Chains A and B, each alone.
Chain A
């Protein structure tokens, strides 16, 4: 057991050292406050947990590097971070397009939380969510963006309005249109799937 005794403290030291390493004060609080929202926003857009983690890492790394250029008069920290996230997701999608599919498959969303005891219901629900996520990938970018802000980052209309620099009313209209197009897209996919069977 000597190996474990030697290694475990070493790893612990490293973790502690990392935890104690400082970040700029404001950035630290932004991270605590918005890391989850950024992650959720990204996760809603990308196919796998791993990709979401990678893209979220990019977002905060870029934010940290540009931290001294942040202008509070132009945007709130969350808006600023989510804009960086939007660009990072776009880069990620471009890279995926070069390499292959953007498709979300069930085995790639093991982190999906579904509190449904019945296995059968759970499978049906997962399939439905899979269709929704894949359907959202077919929408125009602006639609994807507003859906991700709404259902990924969990922003309300006023927050989305601030983020997109548009009125509350415009958000409601865009959201409505995006949902309508998503519905149509999912219904088409479902009909195709039934035809294939």
Chain B
């Protein structure tokens, strides 16, 4: 669109003519699809309101409240291409209403809307009736008064928040819906209790709306000029945008020319891999390296002339890691973080800069702030998808998912054991092991019972372990959604694929893991992580020969040091073997390992070395799940395999104690700090594991 201007019709003095010409020459290009999109939005809004305008005056009164809520604070609602928005039905409405309000001063367990006809608004009459009768709570004390309903502040920000939790998979499948939320808005405008008053019929959408609702902010309700808490009810519309649907699908289908994949299983590939026809090793990660280089160049361009420039190459800044030679990484991060913030303030707001700053903040332990930067980057990507590379979008999703993953790992399966259950059992040597005043057993007591009376402790865990109801399931869903979104944006993304697939392994979804890992191999130029995961799945599916060939292919595609690390058998050895192995050079170790595995096969006629395959399956999982193969958790996993059960006990100080149950005998105990990646044996656990030195993987 060009906006050409007529010549000025009032004569301007000479000194202003040049300015007039300059201003007249400013022309903007309108996005071609904007006009039709907006027209369609208007038509839909008109169709919606057509029915409402026929409703009774009572409804108009009711709608007035929602209008106050939805219109009053609306800064930038986006009919443009919003995926998520609040439904507003009427505008220019009065905000003062004569309604009945509750005398209660705060939310109750069972919310009682102050007056259903007024607060449950923007719904057809019959629905209002249904809602009002659905409230199954004692009638509050009511008085007649004049109130001004709460007004939502920063509605645009709230909509953007909602966009970030709209599950990409649902968008891709074109699934949308309207979630009605009922929320207590306190005297300070802060949300209290919130619940779904009418489900969208899609659990994930309901959960998404619930997750972000506590972050909404309001002008509180006023009653006779005084701030009051009030219940409000409002609908949130999740609407898949057709452009978004196509865009999300595109990278999955186009670059790979994959065979037909059922839509619900888009991330899977059921056909076997051609291990002989994998791309050359040199090509592993080549396209990701190119994407990273492009993003770095873009970042460099954005930051040219800013203070960030002097802190090193853009690649280092993008990674949030100091370049070689920096002796004080902490100071480097502080300086780069400040400079990036200044650059963003100065208008250099680009997703790459937000990604870099988010990473720096993450490494500084400012997790919430980091997540905010990643989500800002994602919002920019949603608004202008053509201006942000798929890889950068994937990185933003991935980093956000990483933060959620840490939180999930810090809360997954945690619980406590009630002290009272100890009364039904006895462990004489552990009687003095301490009692907690909280009604729950202290970790000291659990550890003492575990090692002194393991059978009794096993029973107590069975009967007395109470799982905490934390946000664990929600975090898992969000983490998987983030990883999946990253994979959708950039199908070969190594980190996202690895976390996503390792979680499937954790859930023992071996068929899904196999097909997902195959797709990962295809989309990542044959990344060894994909081959390891496919091998793990095949092994668990008892397809040992295929598993062996996948592990061999993975080793062949790793660097020498990586392959040596994953093939290392030191944790399986003790005594003279361990000492001899420790003295060998890497090349000598490889030969030694061949002999070692040959000795593990009892029947020499076997054409596949099953103990080696089992070892590789364990090592692969340990490496991808725990980050390395030499940590305590990885060591125990490789030696003993997957525990039958894991109990995680949280004493509330950020320190988690894990009990890994391997059947008879004591559990192996670990300590883990919330949000830390390391899981270390407790001193008792280390002593016990060392005592079990001669245990070998099952034959």
Q: Which residues in A have some Cβ–Cβ distance to B below 8 Å?
A: 1-4, 6-8, 10-11, 14-15, 18-19, 21-24, 27, 31, 35-36, 39-40, 43-44, 49-58, 60-62, 64-66, 69, 91-92, 94-96, 98-101, 103-113, 128-129, 132-133, 147, 150-152, 154, 156-158, 168-169, 171-172, 175-176, 179-180, 182-183
Contact = CB atoms under 8 A, between A and B. Distances in A.
Contacts of B384: 50
Contacts of B15: 183
A43 B347 CA distance: 18
Interface stretch (B37-45, B123-131, B574-582): B37-45
Contact of A112 (B26, B90, B350): B26
B351 to A, nearest CB: 11
Given A69-B92, A156-B6, 18 more contacts: A6-B263, A7-B245, A10-B242, A11-B243, A18-B43, A22-B46, A23-B42, A36-B3, A36-B35, A39-B1, A39-B30, A40-B28, A57-B41, A61-B91, A94-B75, A105-B346, A112-B29, A132-B26
B46 A23 contact: yes
B54 interface: no
A105 B348 CA distance: 8
A154 B3 contact: yes
Interface residues of B, number: 76
Closest CB pairs A-B (n = 6): A105-B347, A172-B10, A95-B75, A18-B40, A57-B79, A21-B43
Given A55-B76, A101-B345, A154-B5, A50 B22 contact: no
Contacts of B260: 1-2
B551 to A, nearest CB: 32
A56 B31 CA distance: 13
B383 interface: yes
A112 B27 contact: yes
A113 B246 contact: no
Interface of B: 1-6, 8-13, 15-16, 19-20, 22-24, 26-31, 34-36, 38-47, 49, 74-81, 88, 90-92, 154, 156-157, 174, 242-243, 245-246, 249, 252-253, 260-261, 263, 266, 302, 345-350, 383-384, 387
A20 to B, nearest CB: 8
B253 A3 contact: yes
Contacts of B34: 39, 53, 56
A176 B13 contact: yes
A91 B74 contact: yes
7 contacts: A1-B260, A18-B44, A19-B39, A43-B28, A61-B77, A64-B46, A65-B45
B350 A64 contact: no
A19 B38 CA distance: 10
A39 to B, nearest CB: 6
A58 B26 contact: no
B377 to A, nearest CB: 14
A11 B245 contact: yes
Given A4-B249, A15-B40, A179 B156 contact: no
A119 B26 CA distance: 17
A14 B302 CA distance: 38
A151 to B, nearest CB: 4
Contacts of B252: 3
A105 B253 CA distance: 37
A98 B154 contact: yes
A193 to B, nearest CB: 13
B84 to A, nearest CB: 14
Contacts of B8: 157, 175
A110 B387 contact: yes
B28 to A, nearest CB: 5
Contacts of B29: 111-113
A11 B350 CA distance: 30
Contact of B242 (A1, A14, A150, A179): A14
Contact of A113 (B6, B28, B92, B346): B28
B392 to A, nearest CB: 15
Contacts of A95: 75-76, 154, 156
Given A105-B348, A112-B26, A62 B76 contact: no
B266 A53 contact: no
B356 to A, nearest CB: 16
Contact of B174 (A10, A99, A101, A176): A10
Contacts of A2: 260-261, 263
A106 B124 CA distance: 47
B253 A1 contact: yes
B12 A176 contact: yes
A62 B91 contact: yes
B76 A183 contact: no
A104 B166 CA distance: 30
B658 to A, nearest CB: 42
A19 B46 contact: no
B80 A54 contact: yes
